[in-house]
Every structure is written in C-alpha cells, then in structure tokens.
Structure 1
C-alpha cells in the first residue's frame, strides 16, 4: 500500500546525542518532521519512525494494535542507544503515551522525556462505548488536523478505526498504573484548548510520575497538533534547551 505524501519516516545521522520522536494516533511522521529537522540542524541524531498501520489507509491500522506500535518505537530506541551515548524520547498525543511506556521499560537509559498533549485515559462516553461499538461500526470520523493555525494541515486518516481505538484504551490501562515508575527529567507541553485529548490528561500525568525534574508549559495559541501550530517553534526551542541542559550538546555542533 503506497504511503500518503509526507508520511515517510525521517532519520538524520548527527552527533552523540540521539532523539526519538513518536507521532500520534492515526497521524504520521509529517506531524513531527519540522521538529525533527530543527533538532537535526543543531547536530542531534534524530529518528522519526512510521508506526505500523499508519500513513497508508485507515483499514491498514484496523489490524494493528498498541503492541505493534510500541514494538516499532522500542526498536528505534534500541538502535539509537547503540549509536548514541544519550537518548531523549519525545512524543505527541499517543506518541507521548508510547514515550511513557519506553520510559517505564528502559529507565535510566532514557535521558529525558518531552511530551506534547499526551493521552493516558479515556474521556467522554463515546470512547467508553468503543469495546462494544467496534464490533458494529468499523470506523468513525477522523481526528486529524486539530490545529488553530490557518493553512496548516496534518497528514493523517480521515477515518478513525475503532478496533485500533480499543487497543489504544488498552495501552492506557498498561501505562497509567505504571506512571510512578517514570523518573526521568520531564518537559510537558500541553494546549489549553485541545479538541482531541482533554487537558486533564496532563494533570493526571503530573500527579502520578515520580520525576523530580519536571517542567510544565501551557500552550495558549495551539490546539492538539501543537507541533504544526502557532506554538511549534516554542516547542522546538524549549525541547532543544531541555536536551542541552541535560547533555554535553553545544549550540551548532555536528558530526560524530
């Protein structure tokens, strides 16, 4: 099945500090690529994998689950760890959920987490009905492009496959009880107005993790896909400053 234009994985071979960027549910690396390119231009080694079932057509996602998505980011993390002396993990939405799972599983091997509008729980009656409804209705309207910036669009599905939604709810059930095992430095950026992931997800996350180095930033001008929205540049610069503070990276360095 051909990829949607812009949905290709992105990788850049830079210095000794690596960054894994995880895209969101029904999305693609396109939502993370400007962020990845920003970090690559500053000398970091960057990987933005395409999650299984994403970037083609929603029917392909219907036969995948959270274990498949997690296996892909886990594989990329291990590859970066072999190549780099330090690895940071960053994620948007479900990519943030997968990042948390990596942090729980890999502990101190991850130097820090940057999460943008991560999800850790079900909100609303509709999603709570998914375990039953998914057997009757294969998909519902999509969630892509919740963006305030006019003219900015996310490459993602226009339908949301409900079997995959159900699997996402199972991922939340695995990650949320284990949040106290998250101890890494954490930079959390969340939108005040988000039509996909309720901001209360960030409050739950902050109340449960054991990290002592925690920075919370509220994005006032962006909706859910903040990496393509008004606050994108702020996300990029704050994440790079976070990496700089926790590593030996120097401005403008490259190579390695």
Structure 2
C-alpha cells in the first residue's frame, strides 16, 4: 500500500506545472507587494499543504492601503509533497522568524496575518518577536471533530502513517462552501503523513500557556463557526487565554476554512482593514 501511494503521488507530482529554476508550482510563488519605502508591513503566513495563493486578493487589498506586503512561502510548500515530508517544525518556525527579522529591519510597524497552520506559526512567532499586531484567521490549534470520526484525526494520522506515506486529498474536497473558485486554490493533492505530526506539534506549542501569555499585542481572531478543518472551539479557548487587553474575535457564519475564497471574503477584508487602520493615521 505504501509503495502504491508513493508511486501515485510521484506520478501526480511530475505532471504539475512549475518554475523551471525554483521548482515552485505555477501560482504558488511568494509575493512582495506595495511600496518598499512604506513605514509599515504585513507578513502573511499560509497553512498546511497550502501556498500564499490561499489568501486570494487580500494581500493586494492590504498593499493598496499603503502597506508593504510579504506573503511568504513556507519550506516544503508550493513545490512538492516529497519536499514537505523532509521539513521539521523547527525549520518552519525559523523560516517565519527569518522573514520577521528582515521586515523589522526596514519597517517600524510589522503585523502578522496567519491562516490555519500559519496561525499557529504566527502565534509562536508573535510570542517570540512581539509584532505590533496579530491577525489569526481560522488558526490551527486543533482539528475540528466530526460525529462520524471513530477517533481523533490526530490519532488516525499517527496510525495511518505507519501504513502509507501519502494520502490523497481530492481537489473537489477543498474546504470552501462556494464552488466557483474551488479549482483556484493551490494545495497539495497528496499529503505526506510524516508532516502531520509536525503540524500537530506546532499547534500544541501555539496553544500552550507559555506561548499565549506572551501575546500582549493587539489581536484579531477571525474564524467560521462552520470550519470543518480547524476547530473554532479551540480558537475560542486560545482567545480566552490570550492576555492582550486589545483583542477582538469575529465569528463568520457563511464560510468554511479558506475564508479568503469563500462567501465571507468581503467581511474578512473589512475586518482586517478596520484592524490595520489604527496604524494608518
């Protein structure tokens, strides 16, 4: 079974369009937007098996407001799942902190926007580097439990990884409710199960009290109550623990996990805009 899944993943991987030099999938590239000489910057951190493409046009929207935008590409992402299976949690954390350091050298104000696993990474990085602001969108602190699960998804992943190195996640099951843009979201179709414990460890670290007690900067949480991937109840628990005196939680009702491509996308833009406006005067 392991040989079959690896072979299928390899065959699919070879068919993907990618940049001949970097190996990055077409449309998955990291992005720099907005004026280099701006006084403030936003760092976008995408999620598990995803790319900066997950944020849709939100980076462009923020850049148009006068911010410099950096939408990073995490190690092992946007190239091949065979790359991702070699990446450690520390490498992911270090990559984010390296981006933060580069932005802080040039910009007086730096704000993080983290989605899904990128939300966990943004939480960890914020605890270590104290950005001016933190925006968490559908952050991954735990997987959403469904009534038909026989066991926790994390437990299932541990067991499955001993049988097969990859599982297939069909593009038709992308976690958004509106169907028009489903095919536009760039995700790995084949998920390396070795990478699941890496994400789980990041989530555990992000939700730990030692991390959360350092989140004192203005914080905005945006999460859909209908998220089938990351657990909104876990986000609520984290939100309640965060000691920041300036924090806001907004609960969406029409979207699933990738809210930037879903029915609430305009509401997300408005919420992000309102949050960032405090540094725009």
TM-score by length of 1: 0.90
Matched with 1:242 is 275
Which protein, 1 or 2, shows the higher relative CO under an 8 Å CA cutoff with sep ≥ 6?
1
After the TM superposition, which residues 132-171 of structure 1 pair with which residues of structure 2 at under 5 Å, given as runs?
A: 132-142=159-169, 145-153=174-182, 154-171=185-202
Q: Do the aligned partners of residues 106 and 143 (structure 1) sit closer, same or farther apart at CA in structure 2, a change above 3 Å counting? A: farther
The C-alpha deviation readout for 1:12-49, integer Å capped at 9, x for no partner, is 24210110011110000111251111001111011001
Q: Distance in 2 between matches of 1:132 and 1:65?
A: 19
TM-score by length of 2: 0.83
After the TM superposition, which residues 61-210 of structure 1 pair with which residues of structure 2 at under 5 Å, given as runs?
A: 61-107=84-130, 110-122=131-143, 124=145, 125-142=152-169, 145-153=174-182, 154-177=185-208, 178-210=211-243
Deviates more, 1:20-29 or 1:68-77: 68-77
Matched with 1:18 is 41
Q: Distance in 2 between matches of 1:120 and 1:206?
A: 11
Matched with 1:55 is 78
SS at match of 1:181: coil
Q: Distance in 1 between matches of 2:139 and 2:153?
A: 19
Q: Distance in 1 between matches of 2:28 and 2:260?
A: 15
Which is greater in Rg? 2
The C-alpha deviation readout for 1:41-79, integer Å capped at 9, x for no partner, is 111011001111111221211111221222221111111
Q: Distance in 2 between matches of 1:233 and 1:11?
A: 22
What stretches of structure 1 of length at least 5 have no aligned partner? 251-256
